[in-house]
Structure 1
Amino acid sequence: MPLKNLRLYLIIICFLISSTLFAQQSIRLNTGWEFLQRDLGGIWEAIRPEDKGIPHDVPHWQQVTLPHCFNARDAVNPDMNYYQGPGWYRTQLNINNPYNDGRILLHFEGAGQKTDVYVYDTKVGSHLGGYDEWTVDITKAVDDFKKTEICQTQFKGSVPVEIRCDNSRDLESIPSRLSDFTVYGGLYRYLNLVYTPAVSLDKVFAKAEVDKDGKQGRLDVGVRIYDPENINAAGGDIRIIDPQGKVIQQSKYNLSSTAREVPVGSFMVKKPQLWSPDHPVLYTVEVTARANGGTFTQREKVGFRNFEFVDHGPFMLNGKRLLLRGTHRHEDQAGVAAAMTEGMIRQEMQLMKDMGVNFVRLAHYQQSRIVLDLCDSLGILAWEEEPWCRGGLGGEVYKNQARQMLTNMIEQHYNHPSIILWGLGNENDWEGDFPEFDKEKIRAFMSEQNDRAHRLDPSRKTTIRRCDFCKDIVDVYSPSIWAGWYRGTYNEYKQTTLDEFNKVNHFFHAEWGGDSHALRHSEDPDKAFVNIKTGGGADERAGDASLSGGDSRVSKDGDWSESYICNLFDWHLKEQETMPWLTGSAFWIFKDFSTPLRPDNPIPYMNQKGVLERDMAKKESYYVFQSYWTAKPMVHIYGHTWPVRWGNEGEQKMIKVYSNCETAELFLNGKSYGVKKRNSQDFPAAGLRWVVTFKKGANNIRVVGQQGKTTVTDEINQVYQTDKWDKPAKLILEKIADENGFATVQVKVLDKNGVQCLDAVNWISFSLSGDGILQDDLGTSGGSRKVQAYNGRATIKVQTQNGKSVVGVQSPGLQTVFINL
């Protein structure tokens, strides 16, 4: 074999060996699980053998894979409240620790909300809190069980593990159930079996700093040793690896005590490559711990960057102003709820980056380590917060949980360069969980948490959203401004924001926007403005989220169309380009999510403020942001999900195009309507709008965008309806697609003359009988069995299973209709 090929062969072998060893250290436990959604009479019910005269499936366990959420479907069930209570998981593990005298750990990346862990009938650990990571050492329990006869007879050498999760309501636990999101239950993040030597690394703290000139970097490394047997001595190596994979610094350390967190190395890095949203370069800190012949290695990613919230001014990153262009994120997905796989998370975060986001608020709890890793690698700055959300302030159990969860969040995500803000709470002025609502006690605890955050991490800033009586405590404050949704009109945004900016030293605007019912469009989206009071502020107040009562407001009196929300976003974004003092903002929210507080929304139990639906389908508003926030040439005609427009014959209509190109030319039915130049201050659509006359029936719309030498195009077809309609009188139901085992059915709302009522918002309820499976409880416009119509229609899919089914549709006041599949 040639020497060159031999070297390559050896490199590959070494890589495979090291990968294998790493894989042995941590194994995701995704398969082989059974689940029971109820409580047990005792742990014996989970482990008793079949030969005790009780069928093994009583009570009924179902096979599941992890991650798994109790509420994958029922969170958006329109007919009942979601399940809140205990649930059990069980599996059998084949334990094979490669380390002599090593430890066996179960590492939970998150489980909701209270969790107990058993090995056979021995309780080995408990945890309170649904969002932070935690670990249970099962070494002794496994060793003890393996010595029993039952291990070999009943379990054939494997080790039974049972886990009880519980998301029952509890006023003395955070987050409050008054929070506007579902508090899920289950093993909804990854669970890992981890093997370590007798002494290992519990935490590696890597603090990367750089001076304002970016010429000198400093990296301080500290460790916390995991040493349950009190060996009390360890040594090891530290290596600093640059973004290109080159080792640039290394050193050794020796510890005579493992009893506390200790610094083990400090390194100077000249002219470090700076981390930023445009260049998210990452260095690697590799720390090895050795003791008693065992070796354990941990790798952490870090980034060199400096940031500043200028007093009464903008945000600076690495010495230059950066407008924070942000959104928010909940861990929630159609069909799985909180149990998002790594692939789902990656897809969502990439969509976020592709839209131009450089900042995200992770609401309202510590999120998956996968999310933070992606923030680092994609270049998305982050605000992460503890789940002290609404309801008031409880007693010592409540406060101790908040203290521990803040501590865990900061320690577990300390190394991520993406994080710049630690959130201490959300809407803490929202009372209701306790008889007493004492602002001074809330202030005192907020101050305590603020001090704790600064003590644990002096390098980041603290923040809260919407608690005016605590705004002087934190470093950065975000008030409530919902111009054009809960209060006022969207053209009040700039002045209202300036007024709030002047009240604090460091300002950020988290949460703005509004709901949009995907697939609903409007010819007159701003018509609700006529009754809206202006000049009275744009803050959200008690009762504003309700769809009835109170003052006139768009959230109650508007049409919830995608057309309106695009105008609102468009106005905000064009104004932000003229606000040089603005640190930035984050609109609420990137993706629709479930909430028990909104049963009357067009999709029941869904907060519909996302620019994506809950299944990650893009709404039209996604492209509004992309047109302002991205550099890669793009062009998008508004109306891809608007099949039928309406008006009088010969009436002029506006076509809007969202694009970041310098110019765009519109063609209607092959005829050019001219070239327009983009101007961000020319509202709406930055001047890329054309007033045209549609022909009755089918119309083809095409746009050509030009950015330098790059040409991009978009094309849609729309029907123009001139027939007028009367009030809804009947339904028709038809199959419009049938592929890959799924049939799509569509119901239309017609008047007495058979004309589609294109402004109809009737409630539609789908049902199914037969062999198929209705694709419902997804929380999407096309995946809900109860949903408001969008432009006089609604759709749903059926998995046919090669059988026969009947789909029925009901709507109050109209005759029920059926279709055979």
Structure 2
Amino acid sequence: MERKRFWWMLGCLLASAILCEAQQSTRLTQRWEYLRGDLGGIWEAVRPATEGSPESVPLWQQVTLPHCFNATDAVNPDENYYEGPGWYRTLLDVKNPYNSGRTLLHFEGAGQKTTVYVYTTKVAAHTGGYDEWTADITGAVQQFLQSPDAKRFKGKVPLSIRCDNTRDLEMIPSDMSDFNVYGGLYRYVNLVYTPALSFETLHVQAVTDAAGNNGTLSVSAAFRNPGHVFRGTLELRVLDPQNKVVKEIRQDIDIQTGEQQLAGISLKKPVLWSPDQPRLYTIAARITAAGETAEWKDHTGFRHFEFVKQGPFLLNGKRLLLQGTHRHEDHAGVAAAMTEDMIRQEMLLIKNMGANFIRLGHYQQSRIVLQLCDSLGILVWEEIPWCRGGLGGDSYKDQARRMLTHMISQHRNHPAVILWGLGNENDWPGDFPEFDKEKIRGFMSELNTLAHQQDSTRKTTIRRCDFCKDIVDVYSPSIWAGWYRGRYTEYKSESLKEIARVPHFFHAEWGADSHQGRFAEDPEKFIRQVATGKGADERTGDFALTGGNARASKDGDWSESYAVNLVDWHLKEQETMPQLTGTAYWVFKDFSTPLRPENPVPYVNQKGIVARDLTPKEIYYVFQSYWTKTPMAHIYGHGWPVRWGKEGEAKEIRVYSNCTEAELFVNGKSAGMKKRNSQDFPAAGLRWQVPLQTGANQVKVVARNGKETITDEVTWQYQTDTWSAPVKLIVEEDKSFSGNNLRKVRVKAVDEKGVLCLDAASEITFSAAGDGRLIIDQGTASGSRKVQLANGQACIFLRTGSGKGSTVVAATAKGIATGMTTITY
């Protein structure tokens, strides 16, 4: 009876649940204290506080986990982000229910060097900010609880953790990388209880042929066995996607050192996993010894994939065009410390955009991301953070080997994963006096062999290191047509050249920066400066805003308008290349970087499809119009409040939709019906030339897909007044916004006649004095103390608090008269 009850409860667990290493695992999110900076030693974290004592450390602050040192300073426009040590402490209430059981701390990721103490005893240390690891604190806890010092803590166990993201040339990733190397406990920490014998890892390898006629399931495990138990009883269950048991095994096994094979299972016509139907099998295991049982539960899926020589990509025997993007672990207000809810929201946006592929750049990411890729149906390229800088010494290489081994071991069960990335931009020198291509090739070859030894079912890959392109299975060159080099109309010809150069090609990283809210009536007026026929690869210095060849990244306007054109062209061209395996747009979400202080939002790479707070930019809907099947329609320019031109001038109005036809209405009058044709650039033919009237204009589209109708509406102001140079700033509250204890403040740049200067792009600095506080350092166009104007405007939010008060908000810009206003509440 007890056995049936166990299996019934196990079957009821959510498919997205975290892997269960034991019967009890608890996230430690609350009641933490944090100290930025270092201590003189562990005693300073645990010594008794003496009132008024100068020896006490007063600067601990209450925090919840996940927590990142650099939650806001990574995008502070006035200083470098913090790189150094930080301490965390809490009190554990340890109640291990098992006789001779083990008490563990499981870290899902912590940056970048981590040391763990129980009271004053150092129990573990780990180097690497992205792989998972476990600290066994059993002995230290027992020792502390038996000591006289335990009385002071009233049965609780003091836990202290030191994290450190200090710059270190002998660590990966390099600080030359175009992303922040964050510090802190920025992923979940779990308190885990296990019996004396428990699972350390459980690996599931699901293999099927292209037709899905036969499937084999290989199950192996390594056991945590400090008590040297020699024998146990294994129970193994396999449940299909409908949660029906398809195989059950119960047998006694000898417990070996290292990984051992547990079962080989054959299945006829397994249910296949795919992006459209991400159907998962459940593997549930129990090991019992000395009357105590440890559990493990995981998921897998059967799928067969192939990169055909010089294209295309096949999944389950059929061509699948990989339509993808990239993800950095970064978010407004928290940096790397994203909660599970934040991660889920982001991954759902990616799926709802129509993506079926994602590259996790440039490091192993949270297990939550991989679980969501499995359940949502998003194929994965995951890589280690050997990124830029060159090749270091023995400790550097050891870390790379260890992180590759850990990444594969920890994520190989996920059917979504098809590619293991060994490096990124390894042709970029700078961290060491020596830059030896042959040594880099030698180490890349070693990693390639190691990856295949660890997992023979996936392919290896790298991006942008031509002198290593022959080593890995799949290679991605640098093609940035229309941004760092050339024009976007060269994208197809450049891609075809690269496809012919390697056996297996994938195009990772393409796109354009765009400053959210900035639009242009003529976004390509600079294009005549840009040379053609010179290649489309990114080269040294191309990311800079000065010097070098004429290019969109330097000479363009960074408008959403230009990004829309570039994305639209790329997506329509991708439909015309039958040999193309796929591409991934860089990047899904704006993210912080120490290398770009002069961007419109300082220290933010603004190539995102959405902003750093997940607010979609216009290109999000361009992707939807090409990639999604659910009918949609979007009038281009929802974030474009004021258009401009001459009275009676016809203006282009676009609709991005996947419907077969659409009818546009402007101020209640039909502008006609258009049929969608993906090769009719721009907007797949859904564009109209219509005069707008001075002042407000109501625009509506009715799109039809068979009998289904989709509508979208927007209101634009149309400005016909011309303007001269901006002379002053006007700051005012945006009364159209209403939020809980929030006020929206807008600044406008106007000329001497008070006309809004719609091309003004000056950098604005916001400041405030009074009872409220500005929401700043978010890394967004509406959450930065310094930000460039978008079409002569910018905004910021003021948090007022619950009581009455007032705040003066000011905006300054070089060469323009300061503006200010008083917000009363």
Is TM > 0.5 for Structure 1 vs Structure 2?
yes
One-letter amino acid matched to 2:695? G
One-letter amino acid matched to 2:167? R
For residues 209 and 718 of structure 1, the distance between their equivalents in structure 2, rounded to whole angstroms, comes to 55
Q: Tell me by how many angstroms 1:232 deviates.
A: 3.2
Conserved in 2, the CA contact under 8 Å of 1:68 and 1:188? yes
Match of 1:3 in 2: none
For residues 79 and 8 of structure 2, the distance between their equivalents in structure 1, rounded to whole angstroms, comes to 58
Matches within 5 A, 1:278-427: 278-427=276-425
For residues 795 and 56 of structure 1, the distance between their equivalents in structure 2, rounded to whole angstroms, comes to 45
Q: Tell me by how many angstroms 1:349 deviates.
A: 0.2
Q: Tell me by how many angstroms 1:149 deviates.
A: 1.9
Match of 1:683 in 2: 681
Confirm whether residue 750 of structure 1 aligns to residue 755 of structure 2: no
What does the per-residue CA deviation read over 1:471-512, in whole Å, with 9 as the maximum and x for residues that have no partner?
Answer: 000000000000000000000000000000100000000000
For residues 474 and 75 of structure 1, the distance between their equivalents in structure 2, rounded to whole angstroms, comes to 34
For residues 433 and 93 of structure 2, the distance between their equivalents in structure 1, rounded to whole angstroms, comes to 51
- Name whichever of 162-171 and 250-259 sits farther off: 250-259
Match of 1:816 in 2: 818
Q: Tell me by how many angstroms 1:188 deviates.
A: 0.2
Conserved in 1, the CA contact under 8 Å of 2:130 and 2:363? yes
Conserved in 2, the CA contact under 8 Å of 1:594 and 1:607? yes
Unpaired stretches in structure 1, ≥5 consecutive residues:
1-6
Match of 1:4 in 2: none
For residues 252 and 429 of structure 1, the distance between their equivalents in structure 2, rounded to whole angstroms, comes to 52
- Name whichever of 734-743 and 473-482 sits farther off: 734-743
Confirm whether residue 471 of structure 1 aligns to residue 473 of structure 2: no
For residues 779 and 718 of structure 2, the distance between their equivalents in structure 1, rounded to whole angstroms, comes to 30
For residues 527 and 541 of structure 2, the distance between their equivalents in structure 1, rounded to whole angstroms, comes to 19
For residues 213 and 367 of structure 1, the distance between their equivalents in structure 2, rounded to whole angstroms, comes to 32
For residues 798 and 311 of structure 2, the distance between their equivalents in structure 1, rounded to whole angstroms, comes to 54
Conserved in 1, the CA contact under 8 Å of 2:628 and 2:658? yes
Match of 2:188 in 1: 190
Q: Tell me by how many angstroms 1:59 deviates.
A: 3.3
What does the per-residue CA deviation read over 1:61-105, in whole Å, with 9 as the maximum and x for residues that have no partner?
Answer: 000000000000000000000000000000001000111110000
* Residue aligned with 1:527, SS: coil
What does the per-residue CA deviation read over 1:630-661, in whole Å, with 9 as the maximum and x for residues that have no partner?
Answer: 01000000111111000011111100100000
Matches within 5 A, 1:505-584: 505-584=503-582
One-letter amino acid matched to 2:57? V
Q: Residue 713 of structure 1 is aligned with which of 696, 711, 714?
A: 711
Q: Tell me by how many angstroms 1:292 deviates.
A: 2.0
* Residue aligned with 2:654, SS: strand
One-letter amino acid matched to 1:808? A
* Residue aligned with 1:212, SS: coil
Q: Tell me by how many angstroms 1:805 deviates.
A: 1.3
Conserved in 2, the CA contact under 8 Å of 1:234 and 1:258? no
* Residue aligned with 1:51, SS: coil
Q: Tell me by how many angstroms 1:254 deviates.
A: 3.3
For residues 253 and 180 of structure 1, the distance between their equivalents in structure 2, rounded to whole angstroms, comes to 52
One-letter amino acid matched to 2:129? G
For residues 51 and 569 of structure 1, the distance between their equivalents in structure 2, rounded to whole angstroms, comes to 62
* Residue aligned with 1:819, SS: strand
Match of 2:808 in 1: 806
* Residue aligned with 1:351, SS: helix
What does the per-residue CA deviation read over 1:203-253, in whole Å, with 9 as the maximum and x for residues that have no partner?
Answer: 011000011221100000001011012223333111111111111111134
What does the per-residue CA deviation read over 1:727-786, in whole Å, with 9 as the maximum and x for residues that have no partner?
Answer: 111110100135311111100000111100001001100011121121010000000010
Conserved in 2, the CA contact under 8 Å of 1:99 and 1:197? yes
For residues 723 and 445 of structure 1, the distance between their equivalents in structure 2, rounded to whole angstroms, comes to 63
For residues 226 and 348 of structure 2, the distance between their equivalents in structure 1, rounded to whole angstroms, comes to 40
Q: Tell me by how many angstroms 1:312 deviates.
A: 1.4
Q: Tell me by how many angstroms 1:693 deviates.
A: 0.3
For residues 300 and 306 of structure 1, the distance between their equivalents in structure 2, rounded to whole angstroms, comes to 20
* Residue aligned with 1:204, SS: strand
Match of 1:226 in 2: 224
Match of 2:621 in 1: 623
Match of 2:82 in 1: 83
One-letter amino acid matched to 1:551? N
Q: Residue 721 of structure 2 is aligned with which of 682, 700, 723?
A: 723
Matches within 5 A, 1:134-283: 134-152=133-151, 154-283=152-281
* Residue aligned with 1:338, SS: coil
* Residue aligned with 2:452, SS: helix
For residues 148 and 325 of structure 2, the distance between their equivalents in structure 1, rounded to whole angstroms, comes to 56
Q: How many residues align?
A: 812
For residues 56 and 770 of structure 1, the distance between their equivalents in structure 2, rounded to whole angstroms, comes to 35
For residues 755 and 14 of structure 1, the distance between their equivalents in structure 2, rounded to whole angstroms, comes to 66
| Identical columns (%) | 63
One-letter amino acid matched to 1:629? W
For residues 150 and 543 of structure 1, the distance between their equivalents in structure 2, rounded to whole angstroms, comes to 58
Conserved in 1, the CA contact under 8 Å of 2:49 and 2:56? no
Match of 1:669 in 2: 667
Conserved in 2, the CA contact under 8 Å of 1:482 and 1:513? yes
Conserved in 2, the CA contact under 8 Å of 1:253 and 1:264? no
One-letter amino acid matched to 2:88? Y
Match of 1:765 in 2: 765
Conserved in 1, the CA contact under 8 Å of 2:22 and 2:192? no
> Cα RMSD over matched residues?
1.8
Q: Tell me by how many angstroms 1:616 deviates.
A: 0.3
For residues 643 and 380 of structure 1, the distance between their equivalents in structure 2, rounded to whole angstroms, comes to 35
Match of 2:71 in 1: 72
What does the per-residue CA deviation read over 1:562-590, in whole Å, with 9 as the maximum and x for residues that have no partner?
Answer: 00000000000000000000000001000
Conserved in 1, the CA contact under 8 Å of 2:21 and 2:194? no
* Cα distance change, pair 24–733 in 1 and its aligned pair in 2 (3 A): same
Conserved in 2, the CA contact under 8 Å of 1:24 and 1:98? no
Match of 1:741 in 2: 741
One-letter amino acid matched to 2:287? A
Conserved in 1, the CA contact under 8 Å of 2:734 and 2:746? yes
Conserved in 2, the CA contact under 8 Å of 1:169 and 1:177? yes
Q: TM-score scaled by structure 2? A: 0.97
For residues 405 and 247 of structure 1, the distance between their equivalents in structure 2, rounded to whole angstroms, comes to 35
Q: Tell me by how many angstroms 1:257 deviates.
A: 3.5
One-letter amino acid matched to 1:114? K
Q: TM-score scaled by structure 1? A: 0.97
Conserved in 2, the CA contact under 8 Å of 1:110 and 1:133? yes
What does the per-residue CA deviation read over 1:394-425, in whole Å, with 9 as the maximum and x for residues that have no partner?
Answer: 00000000000000000000100000000000
One-letter amino acid matched to 1:586? A
Matches within 5 A, 1:15-26: 25-26=24-25
Q: Tell me by how many angstroms 1:293 deviates.
A: 1.8
* Cα distance change, pair 147–35 in 1 and its aligned pair in 2 (3 A): same
Conserved in 1, the CA contact under 8 Å of 2:323 and 2:583? yes
One-letter amino acid matched to 1:571? W
For residues 258 and 734 of structure 2, the distance between their equivalents in structure 1, rounded to whole angstroms, comes to 66
Match of 1:126 in 2: 125
One-letter amino acid matched to 2:455? D
What does the per-residue CA deviation read over 1:696-738, in whole Å, with 9 as the maximum and x for residues that have no partner?
Answer: 1110000000001110000000011000000111110100135
One-letter amino acid matched to 2:793? R
Conserved in 1, the CA contact under 8 Å of 2:313 and 2:322? yes
For residues 557 and 225 of structure 1, the distance between their equivalents in structure 2, rounded to whole angstroms, comes to 59
Matches within 5 A, 1:630-641: 630-641=628-639
For residues 11 and 246 of structure 2, the distance between their equivalents in structure 1, rounded to whole angstroms, comes to 22
Q: Tell me by how many angstroms 1:22 deviates.
A: 8.8
